[in-house]
Amino acid sequence: MHSFVRTCKKLKEEEAAKLFYQIASAVAHCHDGGLVLRDLKLRKFIFKDEERSRVKLESLEDAYILRGNDDSLSDKHGCPAYVSPEILNTNGSYSGKAADVWSLGVMLYTMLVGRYPFHDIEPSSLFSKIRRGQFSIPETLSPKAKCLIRSILRREPTERLTSQEILDHPWFSTDFNVSNSGYGAKEVTDQLVPDVNMEEDSDPFFN
């Protein structure tokens, strides 16, 4: 997906909606099953057909299996451009699911705009921008697309949509009717990579 978006520069809203709905469905399926994906990014998703209309999650190698309903994590995994503010701001625990949702927001923004919402060649400057949570959205995007992006990329984790709530957003039913495209629970299950490392990754990105 990363190479595809980079080649296209940016995607039209209809195409982005169809692909992002599948991506968000995969994440929601994992969250419902007690799995936090961590290190979510476009590179983790690949096309499963020649028409480039269906995507699948390529790997679960960085995923963390929750033990109960508490999704609190303390380790700091993540790709710099996709990492959430709370991971940078705290030395304590944070919501793993909310951090995944933030990464989804970065993915959606990148698909629609053609660049990351937060970018800088200097890591310290990049992280400072992410901590502030301030970004601009092109006026060329539809109101519903802008609404969804803003509802995901909220600085406060508790204010973000959940992965399931993302799927219910009106943007997906705007003209292209993505949410009724027949992409059901079985398809979500089939697209996931079944092999997941049961041991917690001991090599986090951040030290």
- Residue positions annotated with a catalytic role: 39
DSSP 8-state secondary structure symbol assigned to residue 94: E
CA dist 112 and 13 (Å) reads 7
Residue 88 tokens, joined: 């940078």
CA dist 134 and 7 (Å) reads 26
- The answer to whether the CB of 127 falls within 8 A of the CB of 47 is no
Torsion sign (Cα): 113, 116, 23, 133: negative
CA Rg, the chain, in Å?
A: 16
- Which residues neighbour 60 within 8 Å (Cβ) at sequence distance 6 or greater? 30, 35, 37, 192, 193, 195, 196, 197
- The answer to whether the CB of 73 falls within 8 A of the CB of 98 is no
The alpha carbon of 54 is separated from its chain's Cα centroid by a whole number of angstroms, namely 16
CA dist 82 and 130 (Å) reads 9
CA dist 165 and 29 (Å) reads 12
